[in-house]
Chains A and B, each alone.
Chain A
Amino acid sequence: MEVFWSAFVDSIKLLFGGDAALYEIIGLSLRVSGISLFFAMLIGVPLGYLIGAHRFPGRGLVVAIVNTGMGLPPVVVGLTVYMLLSRSGPIWDLYLTWMGEAMPRVLYTVPAMIVAQVIISSPLVTGVTLAAIASVPTELRLQARSLGASRLQEAILTVKEARRGVMASVAAGFGGIISEVGAVNMVGGNIAGKTRVMTTAIQLETGQGNFGLALALGLILIGISFVIMNGFTRVQQSGGRYER
């Protein structure tokens, strides 16, 4: 118990200790996950709407694929992205053929980490959005159309009607990547000052036997997640007085 208490005290000290390296790691974690989440929403919310709001042949199969995507092991995503982007991977060859020059190194950079995290979080956002959209009655869209809404306006209204579920999808997407270590470690490489994020830092400190420090970092990560999720929840429940 002693260990946990001192880790808690250490985490507070660290957080407010003015350690520039720590702040950089926290900043990078938020930046990588934030940008990834942005792209995941850009992909997942429209895709979730399209699948959730429409009936088409093979829809069940598509939903099953999305749901499988929600459980993608990050390590496998990391491995795949690693293989695609590596010097012996197909993208490297394609770039060389098309652009006539060698592709700049992507592996072990922040963009590579973002690519991996977008792949991990997009199905999460899509899957939860899809379920939320599907629960909005189709007649509501018919009603909107009958009042003059275009297809896009219809979609916007439906997403607004399902906003609690859509916000939950954003929280699910964020939760899936801020805590993720397998993929960012593999494609980012945990380079100090360049690609080191909270999770890879924790993994490193654990590997070096600095359990106390690792635990303190872990508590900081959880604390940050809490603050962000709390923000999501507030947005999610805004306007709640009109929903009962």
Chain B
Amino acid sequence: MNASAHSCGGTPIITGEDIIVRYHRRTVVDVPRFELCDGETHAILGPSGSGKSTLLRVLGLLERPAKGRITLDGRPVTAGDKGARTMMAAVFQNPYLFKGTVSENVAYGLKLRGVSRAERDDRVAAALERVGLGGTQKASALRLSGGEAQRVALARALVLEPRILLLDEPLSYLDPLIKRRLVQDFSQILSAEGVTALYVTHDQDEAMVVADRVSIINEGTVIRSGDVDEVMTLPTTPWIADFIGMDAALSGTIVDSVEGIAEVLVGEERVFACTQLPPHTDVLVGIRPEDVMLFEAGAEMPVSSARNHLLMRVESIEHMGSTDRVSLHSNGMRIASSISRAASRELGLVAGAEVRAFFKATSVRVQSAAGVPSGV
């Protein structure tokens, strides 16, 4: 992977270089370069056992790597550097609240930093207010529900006003309803605080809600890193495509471009996409299944902003809970559509049937194919 794929354009706060972590002689993390930039929420996305939490602990100075350098604001630091460590605060999968009251928990880090009682009380109250638990100071920390406990854990970190917030699967223990609400709340709090955050998760939806940038990690190695929209729409390898539930990115060539709308030749199909790339550029093309609508093959074309409407053949239909994932192909182009089960039934979709696929030019993600590794 080329170095530019990691750089974010901003100023990196933390840079990790040549990070190697070994457990029992097994290499669990091997990351040549990782940058966390000022103000961004950066998600590290990967399956369980991919080394993402270990990478977070190393970058967060909670664990020493077997090899590697970590710089904070351009200064080399280690896990023994207390000044550097106190610039960060973490929230883990299990909130691990300490025995005592909510207020004692939230005040813990402030106490370690020698903050006066009066200031502590004020800051604790404010932090609890921010996470939606105002006035719960005196409650026992161990009697909270899972969602409340995780909010307290977030308050316990936020109250320190850290420059960097480390979040390690903070929501994965929660049930789906609470999780949905907390993802929104966490996302709001993170952007409102303007805090730089490293957010480890295995859940791509969560990453898409909270993150500005995302790094996908597998078997200890970052295999893709970049803007969240780009990474989540343009899977550059079959493994990434499979992991984020998409078909691998399509290869195409821009044949024409007018006012930022390019005509891209994919197989023998022509697709309109929003991009500033010039004609004759070889590109990767990705479309999220949620953005592809389906209509009957012979239906009247509704007047809509959807520039792309292709007659395609259904290859297979996969039931995914409340939605159906429909794989489609035509003239060497292969995309997927995610539609509700009701819509799927109404269309009477079966393998081999013809349908009309609609998607906007803005939904088509295009990236220059230069510098992207070919499939793994």
Contact = CB atoms under 8 A, between A and B. Distances in A.
A157 interface: yes
A147 B108 contact: yes
Given A148-B109, A148-B160, A142 B57 contact: yes
A157 B98 contact: yes
A177 B160 CA distance: 47
B249 to A, nearest CB: 37
B361 to A, nearest CB: 45
Interface string B156-194: 110010000010000000000000000000000000000
Interface residues of B, number: 28
A146 interface: yes
Interface in A98-150: 137, 139-140, 142-150
Interface string A135-175: 00101101111111110010001001101000000000000
Contact of A242 (B60, B62, B141): B141
A239 interface: yes
Given A142-B57, A145-B85, A148-B109, A242 B140 contact: yes
A148 B142 contact: no
B82 A150 contact: yes
B323 interface: no
B286 to A, nearest CB: 36
Contacts of B85: 145-146, 148
Interface in A68-95: none
Interface string B73-113: 00000000010011011101010101111000000110011
B109 A147 contact: yes
Contact of B100 (A142, A242, A244): A242
A180 B372 CA distance: 76
Contacts of A163: 99
B99 A146 contact: no
A242 B101 CA distance: 7
A242 B94 CA distance: 18
Given A147-B156, A147-B157, A161 B142 contact: no
B86 A148 contact: yes
A242 B109 CA distance: 19
A19 interface: no
Interface residues of A, number: 22
A139 B94 contact: yes
Contacts of A160: 98-99
Given A161-B99, A239-B99, A147 B89 contact: yes
Contact of B98 (A139, A161, A241): A161
B345 interface: no
B143 interface: yes
Nearest to B156: A147
B89 to A, nearest CB: 6
A243 interface: yes
Nearest to A158: B98
Contacts of A148: 82, 85-86, 89, 109, 112-113, 160
Contacts of B113: 148
A153 B85 CA distance: 14
Contacts of B98: 140, 144, 157, 160-161
Contact of B62 (A137, A145, A153, A239): A145
Given A148-B86, A244-B142, A143 B99 contact: no
Contacts of A244: 140, 142-143
B62 A146 contact: yes
Nearest to A139: B96
Contacts of A242: 99-101, 140-142
Given A142-B62, A148-B113, A137 B101 contact: no
Contacts of B101: 242
Nearest to B60: A146
A146 B82 contact: no
Contacts of B160: 147-148
B166 A146 contact: yes
A153 to B, nearest CB: 6
8 contacts: A139-B96, A148-B82, A148-B89, A148-B112, A150-B82, A153-B112, A242-B100, A243-B140
Interface of B: 57, 60, 62, 82, 85-86, 88-90, 92, 94, 96, 98-101, 108-109, 112-113, 140-143, 156-157, 160, 166
Given A137-B96, A146-B90, 5 more contacts: A146-B85, A146-B166, A147-B156, A239-B100, A242-B140
Shortest Cβ-Cβ A-B pairs, 4 listed: A146-B90, A147-B109, A148-B86, A242-B140
